[in-house]
């Protein structure tokens, strides 16, 4: 996931190589991009905190919006936690074979950029697709286009559900698609591994740089859609280890182990019926053998009034642990209201207010309100 050891110029070389090779060997080349300019600030009473890294404990309030990349708002206006821009290139060598590279730059990582996608696609039949390379871990409904703010109605996908310490993986997947009895079905299996260096998620909790390893990633998902209804279920498992980057020493987990195995599973239900839209997702992330088990969900509904789309979102995150003497569980709930205005087919302006209530015995973020605005675009 995190590639902070590569400067933006080096990360972009992969895309440049694809651009240079495309005219000589490809029958078709596609270039596209996206971006989000996002500003926000948290408000609320000062809350003592001993859980987050010292960089965040100095603020009266804090609001985590991007767990995977360490995006946190505090009580001052900032563009840094979520603003980003991405460029994607796809070279199609023939109707069955293509190669894709996507590079994303984020202010929270500046001056570095990341190669989010770099994979080859082979589609031998209309029903089957095989991909190998670097992709997003498909844990959630919006995983593949989570960075594309224009693709969803809110400023951000609900962070109470979205966001763990690994976002991408290197490996392969096989996807089967079919239409049966009026239902559109798509199912995939995937596997691989990832080492996230200078992990952004860990940067929220630790002053020291950490490397997070997910070996032996394996999972499957199924998406089914008909008319105005779309549903999805997913299951994934992998190994887990967090290592201090300076010393190379694995961190000891609350169970006393230095590594282990975790699993995640969940589902989503989405409705687009006329002007009415609804989004929902449920997720369980289980590290209970050596740390904790997290359950999260969100429900969101809105109505399209021409170019305007207001949404109301309720979400929740809660943990349980088998090691209460070594791990302080976190629990919170959120209520959000957002308004999107579409300028056309390529850009949108959004404003959003989120209220988080921290219900943990030991405050994690502390109760806070977040006010944010964004301009999202695609090209």
Segment 303-353, tens digit of pLDDT:
999 999 999 999 999 999 999 999 999 999 999 999 999 998 999 999 999
Rounded to whole angstroms, the Cα distance separating 76 from 42 reads: 7
Segment 355-372, tens digit of pLDDT:
999 998 877 888 999 999
Q: How many Cβ atoms sit within 10 Å of the Cβ of residue 52?
A: 20
* Residue 299 pLDDT > 90: yes
Rounded to whole angstroms, the Cα distance separating 141 from 179 reads: 20
CA atoms within 13 A on the CB side of 257: 15
Segment 111-125, tens digit of pLDDT:
889 999 999 999 999
Q: Categorize the per-residue pLDDT at 15 as very low, low, confident or very high, splitting at 50, 70 and 90.
A: very low
Cβ neighbors of 154 (< 8 A, separation 6 or more) are 300, 311, 313, 336, 338, 340, 350, 352
Cβ neighbors of 218 (< 8 A, separation 6 or more) are 189, 190, 191, 236, 237, 238
Alpha helices in 145-278 (DSSP H): 200-203
What is the residue extent of each domain of the chain?
A: 44-73+125-378
Contact 334, 357 (CB under 8 A): yes
Cβ neighbors of 364 (< 8 A, separation 6 or more) are 49, 51, 52, 330, 332, 358
Q: How many Cβ atoms sit within 10 Å of the Cβ of residue 203?
A: 22
Rounded to whole angstroms, the Cα distance separating 344 from 324 reads: 52
CA atoms within 13 A on the CB side of 176: 6
Alpha helices in 46-137 (DSSP H): 54-57
The β-bridge relationship of strands 368-378 and 28-43 is antiparallel
Query: What number does CATH give the domain 44-73+125-378?
Result: 2.40.160.10
pLDDT for 309 equals 98
Instruction: List, in sequence order, every residue forming a beta bridge with 280; answer none if it has no partner.
Output: 269, 299
Average pLDDT of 13-24? 48
Percentage of residues in the chain with pLDDT exceeding 70?
Answer: 92
């Amino acid at each position: 996931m995190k590639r902070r050891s590569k400067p933006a110029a080096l990360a972009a070389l992969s895309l440049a190589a694809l651009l240079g090779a495309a005219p000589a060997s490809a029958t078709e080349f596609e270039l596209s991009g996206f971006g989000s300019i996002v500003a926000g600030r948290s408000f609320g009473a000062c809350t003592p905190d001993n859980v987050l890294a010292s960089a965040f404990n100095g603020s009266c309030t804090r609001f985590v919006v991007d767990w995977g990349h360490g995006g946190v708002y505090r009580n001052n206006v900032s563009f840094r936690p979520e603003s980003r821009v991405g460029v994607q290139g796809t070279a199609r060598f023939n109707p069955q074979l293509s190669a894709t590279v996507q590079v994303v730059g984020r202010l929270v990582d500046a001056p570095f950029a990341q190669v989010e996608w770099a994979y080859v696609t082979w589609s031998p039949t209309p029903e089957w697709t095989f991909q190998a390379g670097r992709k997003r871990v498909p844990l959630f409904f919006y995983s593949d286009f989570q960075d594309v703010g224009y693709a969803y109605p809110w400023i951000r996908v609900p962070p109470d559900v979205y966001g763990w310490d690994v976002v991408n993986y290197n490996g392969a997947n096989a996807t089967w698609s079919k239409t049966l009895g009026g239902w559109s079905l798509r199912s995939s299996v995937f596997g691989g591994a990832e080492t996230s260096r200078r992990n952004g998620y860990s940067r929220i909790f630790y002053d020291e740089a950490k490397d997070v390893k997910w070996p032996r990633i394996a999972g499957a998902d199924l998406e089914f859609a008909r008319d105005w209804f779309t549903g999805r279920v997913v299951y994934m498992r992998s190994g887990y280890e967090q290592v201090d980057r300076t010393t190379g020493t694995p961190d000891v987990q609350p169970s006393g182990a230095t590594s282990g195995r975790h699993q995640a599973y969940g589902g989503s239900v989405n409705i687009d019926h006329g002007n009415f839209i609804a989004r929902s997702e449920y997720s369980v992330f289980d590290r209970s053998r050596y740390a904790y088990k997290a359950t999260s969900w969100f429900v969101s509904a809105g109505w399209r009034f021409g170019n305007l789309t207001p949404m109301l979102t309720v979400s929740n995150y809660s943990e349980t642990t088998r090691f209460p003497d070594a791990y302080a569980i976190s629990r919170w709930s959120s209520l959000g209201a957002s308004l999107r205005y579409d300028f056309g087919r390529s850009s949108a302006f959004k404003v959003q207010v989120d209220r988080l209530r921290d219900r943990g015995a030991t405050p994690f973020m502390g109760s806070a309100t977040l006010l944010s605005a964004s301009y999202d675009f695609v090209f």
